[in-house]
Structure 1
Amino acid sequence: MVRIAYDPTPYHFNHGVLELPDIVARLGYEYMQLTPHPEFGPFHRMPKADDELVAALKKRAADAGVKIVALQPVQRISWPEEPQREAAVRNFKRVIEITAQLGVDTINTEFSGRPERSEDSEAGFYRSMEELIPVAEKEGVRINIDPHPDDFVEDGLEAWRVIRGLNSKQVGFVYVGSHSFHMGNQAATLLPQVGDRLGAVFAADTYDHHRSNGLRYITNPPGNSVRVHQHQEIGNGDVDWNELFDTLGKIGYLDREDAVIVSNVFGENEDAEGSALRQLDKIRELISGAAR
């Protein structure tokens, strides 16, 4: 049966990393996804956790009755410039090592390239994965990748093709609800193609920036190369959650023991606790009511 995990990012700004398992447990979640925390694994930099801190976090999670199901690093593994890409590979190898030390078998991440240099970024991605896949295989860690807005590949189907081109079952796909409208809003046709390579689903809502003749958001000057999306509570945006969960049910994802749905609401920190509780109830409701 699919597991429901909490992304504690709203608590990063005023809590240490060792406090997070107790917070997640208090919110009623059995599972958590460890996202970039400045004490542990900051964005785009070498992880700051030594073996002692890793062991302490593992113990705190066990004491709290919370299982860490995945780490979510963000490293420039597809960067078109070599110094940054090479540093990202070094950093990512340490992330894999930490993941294994925690007894976790999954990393959910992003391509982290540049859309204006998509060809160079894709080439960099494949170079990086030539080094990272053998390390992940050795440590028993699966890597799942999300086509994030403002990456070298944003369309969901094209991102799946890039992942499939690795020819490795060690790498899977992350479907992020908040990225639906940058990915092409094609869950019903995309996810059956991804099939058992779907490694994680992130549950947060967003507005469809294509609506209102493209004027749902206005940036000045017009034509800015910006990507706008939110990570709001389910129901506070335009994502068709019934269609998404029906699709997940039909492809068997909701009945897989290794499947995970991560609640990752970022935009409502003033009510983080209430939001987390409502998200848990809503995700359970969607799972229960999904087509099979």
Structure 2
Amino acid sequence: MKLAYDPSMFRDNMSFKDMVDRVARLGYQYIELSPRQDFIWFYQYPKVNTQMIKSVRRWCDDAGVRISSVLPVQQWSSPNEQERCAAVRNMKRTIEITSELGVDTLNTEFSGDKYNAVASEGQWYKSMEELLPIFDRENIKLEIQSHPNDFIETSREASRLIRSLDSDIVSQVWCSAHAFYYDDGLGDVRQQFKEADGLISHILIADTFNHKGNFGLRYIINPPEAPVTIHQHLNPGEGEVDFKTLYQVLKETKFDGIVTNNVFAWPDKVEWSNNKTLKSIRDGLELK
């Protein structure tokens, strides 16, 4: 198992090198390389060259940190064909960068348009036809999660789409902060893993409240019909995710993939937040 840290809380206020050093000081051997404007940013072409890649490898070596996975987010499922083509181009370059970094895993989201799901699904398959041969050629594994506001939001549908590719190099990301979207408000962790049937290879750890709770009044949104998507990335124990069952399931299945601290809520109290989340993970999974 690889225990990693997502440094999203550092992306706007810290250089890349300082970010790597900070992750090492927090007690991690692995870093999930999430979007940064000076490297790979949301929906855009990567702003990085060969020299920067060499520097990143050196900074990681010096800090004793390895990159567990590279995380881009692209609109590769967009019903807009021009937008989809741009996303595929951006993803091709990201695969190259991942290979040049010496990293064997890229994890991402389905994206697309939740209000035009059928067209988005067709566009996603079209992108997969173009990109899977490149992932295979570069020996890069692809992990995908259904994210709130994607063209699919449930864990069940994510598993079905990934399974339909019938590819050994494609697997599923499961994020605890999205648990109440994954089954429309139930948050039944055990059932979600049962439905995935071994496809899950990456766990993102963060807590959230059930947006469907309290008769739909957990959050007050005005006007009530406003088309918004809301959740949090809190420390375990601050929300309503069933972490006891999650850790039990991971131990029962002898999970051996990536587990990432995915808490974003406390950039002003990073050490405190990390201590709480890291303790939850280590105690829950009985890690030394």
| Normalised TM-score (structure 1) | 0.95
- Identify the residue that residue 33 of structure 1 maps to in structure 2: 32
Report the AA paired with residue 214 of structure 2: S
Unaligned stretches of 5+ residues in structure 2: none
Deviation, 1:21, is 1.3
Unaligned stretches of 5+ residues in structure 1: none
**Residue 79 (str. 1) matches residue 78 (str. 2):** yes
Measured in 2, the distance between the counterparts of 1:40 and 1:277 equals 28
- Identify the residue that residue 168 of structure 2 maps to in structure 1: 169
- Identify the residue that residue 242 of structure 2 maps to in structure 1: 240
Secondary structure of 1:165's aligned partner? helix
Computed over aligned residues only, the root mean square deviation of the Cα atoms, in angstroms, reads: 1.1
Count of residue correspondences: 284
- Identify the residue that residue 125 of structure 2 maps to in structure 1: 126
1:188 to 181, 187, 190: 190
Measured in 2, the distance between the counterparts of 1:195 and 1:103 equals 29
- Identify the residue that residue 155 of structure 1 maps to in structure 2: 154
- Identify the residue that residue 266 of structure 1 maps to in structure 2: 264
Report the AA paired with residue 203 of structure 2: V
- Contact in 1 for aligned 2:155/2:196 (Cα 8 Å): no
Measured in 2, the distance between the counterparts of 1:87 and 1:106 equals 22
Secondary structure of 2:77's aligned partner? coil
Larger CA deviation: 224-233 vs 185-194: 185-194
- Contact in 2 for aligned 1:174/1:198 (Cα 8 Å): yes
- Contact in 2 for aligned 1:169/1:197 (Cα 8 Å): no
Percent identical pairs in the alignment equals 39
Which of structure 1's runs of 4+ aligned residues deviate more than 2 A? 192-197
2:229 to 227, 230, 233: 227
Measured in 2, the distance between the counterparts of 1:59 and 1:107 equals 20
Larger CA deviation: 160-169 vs 35-44: 160-169
1:208 to 207, 210, 214: 210
- Contact in 2 for aligned 1:27/1:276 (Cα 8 Å): yes
Report the AA paired with residue 6 of structure 2: D
Report the AA paired with residue 116 of structure 1: Y
Measured in 1, the distance between the counterparts of 2:221 and 2:13 equals 31
Deviation, 1:252, is 2.1
Secondary structure of 1:270's aligned partner? coil
Deviation, 1:235, is 0.6
Larger CA deviation: 273-282 vs 216-225: 273-282
Measured in 1, the distance between the counterparts of 2:206 and 2:137 equals 33
Report the AA paired with residue 235 of structure 1: G
